[in-house]
Structure 1
């Protein structure tokens, strides 16, 4: 399967019954994604937001800078046979990733806007009472595990079960490859969230409610072999798929077919057969296998270049053999995350964005708390 044929979603959530909810995100044949416009006033409000930010005549420095933190916007689209069905045409942030790990985090102390009814406010507060105190909520995640060559998903109920005491460990699951914590990804994510925080600290034009940050990173770890002699360990031992780079691995978890117009003019999107297996994985996540892990540090100086790294390799994936040549395997986590880790952090969901003349303190509060949690994950 070619990379062009791979279909990806921003995020998948599970209903209480375990069914997939696709959030109205489809893929256009040109590689962009289509988000169906919500009913008024939410849909028109989100469209107006994108039109304002991406207006070709826009010369507002704040809005021009904001573009850096959003998916690119390509206007609206309707199928020729169903002109009343309107979709926002957006950049597919996951497109450049082979094994995209995805997390959606709602930001802010309030998930309801200033015009919400008392009933709506009560409904939103009851869903996650800690939102005001914590300032963010994990809506879901999809994580690729190199160790099992499979995905693990967590839905919004997982995020709402997190407390102040467990939120750090809950989020750290998103950055774990199945072998070890991807600290390079955590560090790169912090840098990107800090840039978004910097933008919010400098603007008083807009307030965001029920908006999210979309985190995406490359889940397929690139393991490298360090040659200490003419023959490397990789040449001596058959390494499991996914541990070392070696060719394009097929995407087994395609979630949605490319859309096409049917005879009745409606958009057709069908869930692939692999999706049921994909969602079955989340039930197994509670019964994790305990692998004996070996932590080793490798140092080698050659031609004035010093390489240092820590790696986690399960004995199981070495067929139970711990060899003296183990040091020949070098799992390289580069020193500069912003240059090495493939990470995207984008703002999404703008159905509740309103003009303002003050800083968005609720969003800022959530960003700062999220950065603190990510920093704690990195420090530990």
Structure 2
């Protein structure tokens, strides 16, 4: 009842108190209270591990990011001063490998040569969070006829959830871009949660994951879901770290060497991901051929197609149009990843070449000075 009330109040322009909205998301808000602060602690600590040079520097910068550190006992305890965290979080609950223990922090930060200063750390972390929030896993075009209402809080989208179950979900405004033609682009992640409300039968209200929302919206309007592969963001971040060290004149040492190792590992994993996408495309093509084979006049071809679909655990009633759309989505995802991958690898090679030329010139200068002596 609360969600139905909120929806109609929002559409009518009435204010909805944020604390009331929080309390209404019983299951989801419970999950957030238990887990979200841990994710935020880890993000802040990981940022500090990159941009501290000693344990004292780490602790001072932690204060700037509102991280309270208690290392008076065996296990380090962390708490966020700017979030409703009632209990401290022990380092072994954040990492089973002891990543956030004092000894490990000292070991990691001692490798750093160039880092953000204490005066820079807060602004730089906020910039990092903005960049991360702008990232997305899926981009979906929503046509204006699918939108029930646009309010200051976002857009209410008409959507089906299962057989004979129609209702609406709210996509928050920070995940929506309105286009000039009246349609919308929404940017969501697979594990986002949206609350589905059926105005005729409240017993059918439930949470939907972003993945289900994307599939249903795409099924309704037949537009492709654009997937941004996670490896694009990972490679981009490493290149940004390289550029930062380059600006600071760092091209040697453990910090640079570790980053180089991360990049090479990420390149290897991205190559594997491209192979996985290739296999997915091949599998989809095989399914499409089998679906086509079901309508053949050749009985043996029909039997072979049925066997293939059974082996792949695919329903014979699967529509070819849905498969074609899925394969186009996977092909586009692979194309974007492949192009970005090669672009980043070329950037890295260029960066390495510049560094080698600088080093050679420095060596020549030293040799010339020695000859003159």
User: Which protein has the bigger helix share?
Assistant: 2
User: Which protein has the bigger strand share?
Assistant: 1
Please say which structure displays the higher CA radius of gyration: 2
The TM-score, its normalising length taken from structure 1, stands at: 0.25
| Structure possessing the higher relative contact order (Cα contacts under 8 Å, 6 or more residues apart) | 1
The TM-score, its normalising length taken from structure 2, stands at: 0.26
